[in-house]
Amino acid sequence: MTQQLILLLMSLLVLLPLLVFWGKMFTDMSNNDYLPREAKLYWTVLFLFFNVFAAVYYYVTEYRNKRR
């Protein structure tokens, strides 16, 4: 029982920050006025199918460049 609880807590410690990061990147993408409508559709599909990997790719290609 204790091992299961520890495993659950460790899983939450890993998954929760990833979920928050995904949500922040998805929100930024949907509110980004510089992206054309087609690009937003493309990014939405990527976010839905590739989850955190797409969020990291969005961060590297769009979000970080927008903040400079």
Q: Is residue 9 part of a domain?
A: no
| Residue 9 reports pLDDT greater than 90 | yes
Q: 41 lies in a domain?
A: yes
Is the pLDDT at 67 greater than 80, yes or no?
no
pLDDT in tens, 20-60: 999 999 999 999 999 999 999 999 999 999 999 999 999 99
Shortest CA distance to 51 belongs to which of 7, 20, 28, 30? 20
The pTM for the full model equals: 0.84
Q: Does 21 reside within a domain?
A: yes
Residue 58: strand, helix, or coil: helix
Residue 26 falls inside a structural domain: yes
The whole domain housing 61 covers 16-66
59 lies in some domain: yes
Is the model's pLDDT at 2 over the cut of 80?
yes
Q: Is residue 58 part of a domain?
A: yes
- Whether residue 53 lies inside any domain: the answer is yes
Domain count, the chain: 1
Show the tokens assigned to 16. Answer: 């929760």
pLDDT at residue 25, rounded to an integer: 96
pLDDT band at 5 (very low <50, low <70, confident <90, very high): very high
d(CA 30, CA 57): 15
